Amino acid sequence: MTYDLLTTLRPLLTAEVSAEAHATGTEPGDLEQAVWLRLLEHLAADGPPHDPPVWLRRAVRAEVRRTRRTSRREGPYESEPVDERDHGPEQTALTGARHRALREAVHRLPGRCSRLLQALLSPEDPTYREIAGELGISQGSLGPERSRCLGCLRRLLAPEVAARQVRG
């Protein structure tokens, strides 16, 4: 039953998403993924919708509205200016060494984790939309991918951090 519903709705969803996504500046794959998720949530909570095509159109438009609201609120983080007078040369050298070690570890990461974390650490502070476009992946996949890559980075840095700690 659920499989038939998904295969029946796929062409309609593709058409609706392609009609709506470009007007909002959203990737069609991201919008489609969000609507499939809403459908699965609806199926789990209430079962199949009474009129699936109508429900699907409403879900697409609701996701488009949510995306518009999010993109209006989205912006780069404003960093507070660092007062270098508060730090002595030793602190500045240690901070620089930590940053270099982090950058070197990021370059050693496997697959596209290196490129993803380099983009996230970029001083230009790109949005998820910009990073997804640069890497050629859907914006909705960035969060899970970032979590996986940060886990790899933690495992990579764990021996180095453990070796530098004073024991006893």
Do 57 and 115 reside in the same domain of the chain? no
Do 100 and 67 reside in the same domain of the chain? no
Range of the domain at 49: 2-72
pLDDT confidence of residue 61 = 92
Does residue 58 register a pLDDT over 90? yes
Do 103 and 147 reside in the same domain of the chain? yes
pLDDT confidence of residue 89 = 83
Query: Is 83 contained in some domain?
Result: no
Count of domains for the chain: 2
- Tens digit of each residue's pLDDT (9 = 90 or more) over 107-152: 998 888 999 999 988 888 888 888 998 888 888 888 889 999 998 8
Count of helix runs (H) and strand runs (E) in the chain: 7, 0
For 39-48, which contacts have Cβ atoms below 8 Å and span 24 or more sequence positions? 39/6, 39/9, 43/2, 48/1, 48/2, 48/5
Q: Count of residues for the chain? A: 168
Query: Is 79 contained in some domain?
Result: no
CB 123, CB 82: distance < 8 Å: no
- Tens digit of each residue's pLDDT (9 = 90 or more) over 19-28: 888 777 778 8
Query: Is 120 contained in some domain?
Result: yes
What average pLDDT does range 77-93 have in this prediction? 69
Do 14 and 61 reside in the same domain of the chain? yes
